[in-house]
Chains A and B, each alone.
Chain A
């Protein structure tokens, strides 16, 4: 059997074989957790450092611009940040853009944040619900939150919420966390940070760790958590282990498979290239 047709046979393997291997490989680490150590990188450390300087009573905003479909990447980091802010008695405002399933994401964050259990809605945190994505709306929020939200998600007038007493726009906000699948964090950088100086942190899907990196290095973002890896680092830093750390083992196994597949494909390619 000349080496030529080994690679051709390997090439002809049915695609579904790979899919089964991958799906099973992803389950094994959940059955027998391995727990590889997780190193901390600067972008996620940036979020932890800024959040740990928040004083009690300071107003922080979480803008949930990622949907249920991106929970794997964004939910753990959001939970870690909210738990930190709640431990530091910050006042938390929550709204979101572009994804109509934001109610479920916020409910899930509350379920996973024991610190929120003894907080009072309307005094320690408030939820305003869905808005369509548009940079003009973000510019308006920076100037006057009440021009956009006159009622909270549960139709309580905004002025009846004690938390909103001295809060009118971006100038009264200590920092804003933006969780994204798209580029809404860019809108916040332009309309809140550049114009009002409000520090912006980005909790994004893994690709945003590349796309937003220039803004972290230029100081337009105080921190950047990319994907489940960023979530795991934040969970570890904040001392609130959760889903991201358990997912990291499955990431390790599946990433090894991908690297092995790339190497095999290229060895096969160069072995048969002489023949073609």
Chain B
């Protein structure tokens, strides 16, 4: 099934892309997706610890199971205001 990832802030800088459409296997959790996409990054564990996840513009737990058409964003610590 297909999902969409949008990259913002430090993730766009680290991965060098701003979005991608992706084919993923059924039953994949958002945390597993994150680990796949950040596999090559230094400090991956530290990043995971400070990152939360958004699915279709709402916050979701890291064990959320991806669904067809989801728009996924890895949310580093927010600093609005």
A and B: interacting chains = no
